[in-house]
Every structure is written in structure tokens, then in C-alpha cells.
Amino acid sequence: MTLLNVEALDCRYGLLQAVRSVSLRVEAGETVALIGANGAGKTTLLRAVAGAHRPHSGRVVFDGVDITRLPAHRRVALGIALVPEGRRLFPSLTVEENLRVAASRRRRGPWNVQSVLEVFPMLQQRRRRPAASLSGGEQQAVAIGRALMSNPRLLLLDEVSLGLAPIVVDAVYRSLAGIISEGSTVLLVEQDLTRALRVAGRVVCLLEGRVVLEEAAGGLDRDRVVNAYFGLRRPA
Ligand code: ATP
């Protein structure tokens, strides 16, 4: 079943066209990695799906419903959760409070404070600490946990590894693998190709706002991806 269907989406910032006629499908239960160089349009595309950026043209269809004009909070209620770049926690609230704030628009489902803490063991000892006192990796875990608290049907993750030490990224990705194995549907932006290929079933590469490669992650030709990523030559 197609959960997300992006059709010929164009996103602009004034005269700058950040996303150019992008079409993309995500099937229920699938994990798709959006890759591409800086400025390729990945964040803008994710934000357009979440309702944080109003597209110039095209459609965003979620579970068969056209949500292109729906405000972000209504999309959360439908089951779309975005973990934005930069985490954006409430710094003076504790870990648990940050998680509970997100629960106000909760859908029914498996995620609650307890199950989030189980999937992110690094937070268990920190649950009563203010978010501001946490390390970058712990803050990222809270940001993902906060999105899970809404019990999303589609989880959008924007560069969860940004600014984190490799060992911390490993821990965050271990938890993500657990979340994915629970059957979540995930669309994630990841600059690190190796990590993207490890976690995703399918990879979509953007170059200057356009989809230049879309392929199953298993058996993907790395050279082709690198060429698409840097626009060295059009992949065959
Ligand atoms: P990065 O990995 O650097 O986050 P990205 O692939 O996520 O890159 P976007 O952040 O979506 O790319 O940016 C796409 C294009 O839109 C870039 O040229 C960027 O400079 C531009 N852009 C992004 N946000 C804005 C904004 N708020 N105002 C104007 N231009 C923007």
C-alpha cells in the first residue's frame, strides 16, 4: 500500500527553485533514504511533506488523501511526524517532559514514554534531567522519541547524525533499526551513504532539486550513486 505519494512537487524560495518536479512514493512499512549533496533540496522536500513549507505546485497525497494544503498540525494528527534538523527541544524541560509535550496530539499506538526509553537506553538515566544538559546524541534521541510519541504512521527524519560523534551515531542508528523493525514507515535524509544503505530499503538521490536516481538499496552500484550524488554524469 502506498502511504505517501508526492506528485510533481515544485518548491521555491522566491526565484530559487529548491525542488523541481519531484515525484516520490513511500510504501507502508518501507524505509526510504533521501540522499544528495548540500543544497540538493532534501530538507525542503521533507518540510513540504510535513506541512512546514508550502509548495509552489504539485501534490502531497497521504494514504490516498490530498494533504497539500493541510496545515502541519493537521498532518501530525493524520500520522506524519518530522524530526527537524537541529532537534529543537524545550531546553529547560526534562527529557520526560519533552516527550510528554508531544503526546498532546497523540494517536493510539505502541509508543509512550516507557517504550521510547526502551528503544533509547541512553535516555533511561536522564529522564529527569533538563534537555539543555544532555549531549548532542542524547538530544537527538529525545527529538526522535518526541516524534514517536505521536505514534506516527510516517516518520520523517532530517539528518539525525548531523554534528554527532560516530560512536553516538551508531547508537542512534541501532535504536532506529529497532524502530524500523517494528514496521514503521520512514523517510530519512542522510548525507552518509554507507549508513543510508544500511538502514534503508530504497535510496532516492536528489541533485539540484531533481530526482536523479531511485533504486533498491540491496545490490546498489556504489559508483552509480556517487556519480548521481555529485552529478558527475547522468546515471544509466
Ligand atoms: P543541506 O544538506 O545543506 O541541508 P538540502 O539538500 O537539505 O541541503 P535544502 O536545505 O532543501 O537542501 O536547500 C535547497 C536549496 O534551497 C538550497 O539552494 C538552499 O540554499 C535553498 N534554501 C533552503 N532554505 C532556504 C530559505 N529559507 N530561504 C532561501 N533559500 C533557501
Asked if residue 13 has its Cβ within 6 Å of ligand 1, the reply is yes
* Distance separating alpha carbons of residues 232 and 228, to the nearest angstrom: 7
pLDDT in tens, 184-211: 899 999 988 888 888 999 999 999 999 9
191-196 contacts, C-beta under 8 A, 24 or more apart: 191/35, 191/159, 191/161, 191/162, 192/161, 193/35, 193/222, 193/225, 193/226, 193/229, 195/161, 195/169, 196/33, 196/35
Residue 162 counted as domain residue: yes
Q: Is the pLDDT of residue 15 over 90?
A: yes
Taking CA atoms only, the protein residue closest to ligand 1 atom 28 is: 13
Alpha helices for the chain (secondary structure H): 42-50, 72-78, 95-102, 113-119, 136-148, 166-181, 193-199, 222-230
The rounded mean pLDDT for the chain is: 91
Please tell me the total count of domains within the chain: 1
Closest CA to 142 of 76, 98, 178: 98
* Distance separating alpha carbons of residues 54 and 42, to the nearest angstrom: 15
Ligand 1 mutation pick, 10, 17, 43, max ligand atoms within 8 A of CB:
43
Q: Is the pLDDT of residue 44 over 70?
A: yes
Q: Is the pLDDT of residue 103 over 80?
A: no
Domain residues for the domain of 178 are 2-230
C-alpha cell recorded at residue 202: 530504497
CA atoms within 13 A on the CB side of 75: 26
**Index of the ligand 1 atom closest to the CA of residue 158:** 7
Asked if residue 41 has its Cβ within 6 Å of ligand 1, the reply is yes
Asked if residue 18 has its Cβ within 6 Å of ligand 1, the reply is yes
Asked if residue 86 has its Cβ within 6 Å of ligand 1, the reply is no
Q: Which residues contact 120 (CB under 8 A, 6 or more apart)?
A: 141, 142, 144, 145, 175
pTM for the structure as a whole:
0.93
Distance 32 CA to ligand 1 centre (A): 20
Q: Which helix (H) or strand (E) holds 17?
A: strand 16-27
Residue 193 counted as domain residue: yes
C-alpha cell recorded at residue 115: 517504550
> For the domain that residue 85 is a member of, what is the CATH number?
3.40.50.300
Q: State how beta strands 2-13 and 16-27 pair.
A: antiparallel
Q: Is the pLDDT of residue 236 over 80?
A: no
Residue 236 counted as domain residue: no
CA atoms within 13 A on the CB side of 87: 24
Burial class (CB in 10 A: 0-12, 13-18, 19+), 43: buried
Residue 190 counted as domain residue: yes
Asked if residue 42 has its Cβ within 6 Å of ligand 1, the reply is yes
Mean pLDDT on 127-134? 95
Asked if residue 38 has its Cβ within 6 Å of ligand 1, the reply is yes
Report the sign of the C-alpha dihedral through residues 98, 100, 105, 106, in that order.
positive
Asked if residue 185 has its Cβ within 6 Å of ligand 1, the reply is no
Residue 195 counted as domain residue: yes
pLDDT of residue 208: 95
Asked if residue 4 has its Cβ within 6 Å of ligand 1, the reply is no
- Range ranked top by mean pLDDT from 40-44, 73-77, 167-171: 40-44
The rounded percent of the chain whose pLDDT value lies above 90 is: 68
Residue 72 counted as domain residue: yes
Closest CA to 185 of 170, 197, 200: 200
Residue 235 counted as domain residue: no
Distance 141 CA to ligand 1 centre (A): 24
